[in-house]
Chain A
Amino acid sequence: MTVATPALRILLVEDDPDHAELIRRGFDARSHGVALSVVGDGETALAYLSRQGAWADPALSPRPHLILLDLRLPKMDGFRVLEEVKRRPELRAIPTVVLTTSEAEADMAGAYARHANSYLVKPGDFDRLVALAGEIEDYWLEWNRRPRAVS
């Protein structure tokens, strides 16, 4: 899953394996510098981030540069994960982008209220998904600057 020296490490929190596969292909279509880690639910995401259990080895769970977070997740939903990430000082700085099928007003408001850094809706078309993946990569790799501590 990991590339030797990836330019951008992304943690994808997505319960639907099909969606995860689509997003992976979206990034694969253009990028060469993205390392995508996928976890299927909120609890696993937090375990990954806090390096607990199966993720105790930092080599297996490198700090992501970006978290792509689905909202509707088993066991612990996206909002709880978001809250937890933004509550913890060591995780707070990681840009967390919500990526969901929901266009509900309440979800957007709830995400930003929990300090989500961006809110993206999964596009239906594959082409648009590829485009979105490219934009994400461009934006967070090319344009966005982050302190060294996070990288």
Chain B
Amino acid sequence: MRIGSLKTRLAMWVAAVVVLALSANALQLVLTARARLRERLEENARLFARLATEPLCRSYQTFQASGYFRFRQIAEDLWRQAPDVAWFEIRDVEGRRLFHSDELTPGQPRADADDAGLRAALQLIEVSESRLASATADGELLRIVVPHLEDFGRHRLAAVYGVSYRSLDGEVRRYAFGTLLVTLASLGLAAGLGIALARRVTRPLAELTAGAREIARGSFLRRVQVRSGDELEVVGEAFNDMAARVEASIAEVRRSLERWRSLVEGAPVAVLTLSADAVVEFCNLPEAVARRVVGRRLEELAGRALPPDVVRVIEGVRESGQPGSFELELPALRGEGRAWYSIHVGAVREGGVVVGLTLAGIDVTAARAAREERERLIAELERRNAELERFTYTVSHDLRSPLVTVKGFLGAVESAAREGRTERLSQDVARIRAAADRMDQLLRELLELSRVGRVASPTQRVAFAEVVREAIAVVGGRLSGSGVEVLVDDGLPDVWCDRRRLVEVVQNLLDNAAKFKGAQPQPQVRVGCRQDGAERVFTVSDNGIGIEARHHETVFGLFDRLDPMVEGTGVGLALVRRIVEVHGGRVWVESDGAGRGARFCFTLAEPAHSPAGPKSATPSA
């Protein structure tokens, strides 16, 4: 738009100047021509007046004197030769008009125009001229007065000529018309030249402008063609250099961007950039995933308020510009559910001011799970180690105990033998045998305990009632021997178990109940099953001596015995606990206290939860 007006303005200025100059020139030409023509006309008229006066006046005198008719003929001939002489008169020296050319043609005679100027002119013996305002609207008239000198310098007559400029008008008009034509032609030529000049001057500018516009629109390959050979060509070359540099820079920027884009889009990491006010500007995840996982703002990352420690990390990055990181649980990138991400936050700085944030999130769900699993395993291992240590300690202590008895009484027997005392011999030997038996039993039970979990028979579905029946068959003799009545509830469910082990459990619990029947006159054991919420709890209840609450845990400890007077090694309940735990269940005792009976309860893992059966485990207490 600007360049158009520049061209137009230039053309208009040139045109105006040319028009003014040509017009002035033409006017001046016309005026000069007019003045020259007028002068020539006047010259001719004067010459005519000088030449015609003599014959006119002479023939008029003759005519006056002799009535000679030739005067009119002569006057008419002369007058016809001077077309610019509008009229002529012959006057006497007093100024009286004697003859007027109007008389030659039919029409009204002119009024006698007389004035002092004319009379004075006639009295001089000189040629005189004056300009008169004509009575008609034809403009000026030149009046030439020429005296007719006779012999001896006297004059009696004078001829007066009225010279009209009328013939000039036509000529001047023709001349002016010609001039006008030339002027117009010159104007046209000038206009054409002007436009061509303007175009020539502005074409490089237009080229530069168009080039600049195209580059501004992004066509960085555009170059301008300026061959004007002047400063504009220099400008054009500079422009092309600049465009080339811009193109190179842009190409470099594009390549760089492309590298980053490829890197970011191919990265196995979720990458986000955020504006200063925490709006997500860019995200390398697919649209739908980004909307679901990330949202539009940082605050929406978690779908709810970010945890305070995460907010602290982000604020820290905003304030210090130093990177930070945190872990956060978000919807998983693939599929349903949630995943843990380790998110690293960086600051985008401009002139030392943080103007945005970058977030890179790595799915660390697996690593986290592995870490948790590792920690769990370590804890488990530590627990097992402690258990093993306790087990070793217990075993060494409790195995030494009968050894001390054996060796001690052996010594006693020896010294008694030396001294020949025999009164306590059989008693001591009995003690030694009992200790040896005890040790033997301990070792067998320990071996049994260590087998549990190591030798895991495949689990099978078996009716619990069947298990109970089998256990009763084993311990039935001992039970009936101590007068214990065994009751088995109806409707016991099926269980998944290592059958032989579960029989051992029930057997030990029945034995235990018989051992601690106390002074009960009608000792009873009842085997049943109850539903505790989702859990099936198997119970073996007795009406024996019961267990105080503070001993509810210790009864299951290896070699832990509440009453040293009751036979047993303290392995039975430890074995029960071990077998139940290997079956994925737990065991505990319920009792209202001493003398009020006890109820041993245990659970087993339901097959749905543990289809593979009992877990294998290392032996421990």
A-side interface residues toward B, CB under 8 Å?
Answer: 15-19, 21-22, 25, 40-41, 72, 74-75, 100-102, 104, 106, 122, 124-127, 129
Residues of B within 8 A of A127 (CB): 411, 415
Q: Does B215 contact A (CB under 8 A)?
A: no
Q: Contact check: which of A19, A41, A74, A101 meets B397 at CB < 8 Å?
A: A101
From B408, B414, B561, residue with most partner A Cβ within 10 Å: B408
CB-contact partner of B407 in A41, A74, A104, A126, under 8 A: A126
Take A19-B404, A101-B397 as given contacts and tell me if A126 and B411 are in contact as well, using a CB distance cutoff of 8 Å.
Answer: yes
Q: Is B58 an interface residue (CB 8 A)?
A: no
Contact at B564–A41, with CB atoms within 8 Å? yes
Question: In the complex, what residues of B have CB within 8 A of residue A106's CB?
Answer: 393
The number of residues on chain B lying at the interface, defined by a beta carbon within 8 Å of a beta carbon of chain A, is: 29
Q: Measured between C-beta atoms, what is the minimum distance from A83 to chain B in Å?
A: 15
Q: Of B411, B431, B563, B565, which is within 8 A of A21 by CB?
A: B431
B414 and A126 form a contact (CB under 8 A): yes
Name 9 extra pairs, CB < 8 A, besides A22-B404, A125-B411.
Answer: A16-B564, A18-B405, A40-B565, A72-B559, A102-B393, A124-B407, A125-B407, A126-B412, A127-B411
**Chain A residues near B411 (CB, 8 Å)?**
125-127, 129
What is the CA–CA distance of A25 and B408 in the complex, to the nearest angstrom?
10
Task: Find out whether the CB atom of B415 lies under 8 angstroms from the CB atom of A126.
Answer: yes
Interface residue ranges of B406-445 to A (CB < 8 Å): 407-412, 414-415, 431, 434-435
B402's nearest neighbour on chain A, judged by CB, is: A18
Residue from B397, B403, B434, B561 having most chain A Cβ neighbours under 10 A: B397
Q: Are B431 and A101 in contact (CB under 8 A)?
A: no
Interface centre among B398, B402, B405, B415 (most CB of A within 10 A): B405
What are some 28 contacts across the A-B interface (CB < 8 A)?
Answer: A15-B564, A16-B401, A16-B564, A17-B564, A18-B409, A18-B431, A19-B405, A21-B431, A22-B404, A22-B408, A40-B565, A41-B564, A72-B397, A72-B401, A72-B559, A74-B561, A101-B400, A102-B393, A104-B396, A104-B397, A124-B408, A125-B407, A125-B408, A126-B407, A126-B409, A126-B415, A129-B408, A129-B411
Q: What residues of chain B lie closer than 8 Å to A100, measured between beta carbons?
A: 397
Q: How far is the CA of A26 from the CA of B111 in the complex (A)?
A: 199
- Complex Cα gap A16–B570 (Å): 13
Contacts of A17 in B (CB 8 A): 564
B106: min CB distance to chain A, Å: 174
B contacts, CB < 8 Å to A = 393, 396-398, 400-405, 407-412, 414-415, 431, 434-435, 551, 559-565
> How far is A100 from B398 in the complex, measured between Cα atoms in Å?
11
CB neighbours (8 Å) of B434 from chain A are 18
Inter-chain contact A40/B404, CB cutoff 8 Å: no
On chain B, the residues within 8 Å of A41 by CB distance are 564
Contact A40:B564 (CB < 8 A) given known A101-B401, A102-B397, A104-B393: yes
**Identity of the chain B residue whose Cβ is nearest the Cβ of A14 in the assembled complex:** B564
Interface of A is mostly: loop
Q: Indicate if the CB atoms of A19 and B563 lie closer than 8 Å.
A: no
Considering the chains assembled together, what is the distance between the CA atoms of A1 and B478 in angstroms?
37
Contacts of A74 in B (CB 8 A): 560-564
Q: How far is the CB of A52 from chain B (nearest CB, A)?
A: 16
In the complex, what residue of chain A is closest to B397 when comparing beta carbons? A102
Measured in the bound complex, the distance between the Cα atoms of B435 and A25 in whole Å is: 18
User: Within the assembled complex, what's the spacing in Å between the Cα atoms of A106 and B397?
Assistant: 13
Chain B's closest residue to A75 (CB) is: B562
Knowing A75-B551, A124-B404 are in contact, say whether A22-B563 is a contact too (CB < 8 A). no
Bound Cα distance A15, B560 (Å): 12
Chain A proximity of B617: nearest CB distance (Å): 25
Q: Complex Cα distance A25/B401, Å?
A: 17
Q: Considering only CB atoms, which chain B residue lies closest to A21 in the complex?
A: B431
The 4 closest A-B pairs by CB, nearest first: A126-B411, A18-B405, A22-B408, A124-B407
Q: How far is the CB of A110 from chain B (nearest CB, A)?
A: 12
- Closest residue of chain B to A71 (Cβ to Cβ) is B397
Nearest CB of chain A from residue B180's CB, rounded to whole Å: 135
Provide the bound-state CA to CA distance between A19 and B402, in Å.
9
Residues of B within 8 A of A19 (CB): 401, 404-405, 408
B283 to chain A, nearest CB (A): 59
A72 contacts across to B, CB distance below 8 A:
397-398, 401, 559
Is the beta-carbon distance between A122 and B564 smaller than 8 angstroms?
no
Among A18, A19, A106: residue with most chain B CB under 10 A? A18
Query: Shortest beta-carbon distance, B606 to chain A, in Å?
Result: 36
Q: Closest B-chain residue to A126, C-beta based?
A: B411
A45 to chain B, nearest CB (A): 13
In the assembled complex, which residues on chain B have CB atoms less than 8 Å from the CB atom of A22?
A: 404-405, 408-409, 412
A18 to B432, CA, bound (A): 9
With A16-B405, A74-B560 in contact, do A126 and B410 touch (Cβ < 8 Å)?
yes
**Residues of the B chain whose Cβ atoms lie less than 8 Å from the Cβ of A122:** 404
| Residues of chain A with a CB closer than 8 A to B404's CB | 19, 22, 101, 122, 124
Q: Which residue on chain B has the smallest CB distance to residue A125? A: B411
Nearest-Cβ distance from residue A134 to partner chain B, whole angstroms: 14
Question: How many Å from the CB of A35 to the closest CB on chain B?
Answer: 21
Contacts of A124 in B (CB 8 A): 403-404, 407-408
CA distance A22 to B424 in the complex (A): 13
What is the distance, in angstroms, from B30's C-beta to the closest C-beta of chain A? 140
Docked pose: A126 CA to B414 CA in angstroms: 9
Cα distance A22–B393 in the bound complex, in angstroms: 23
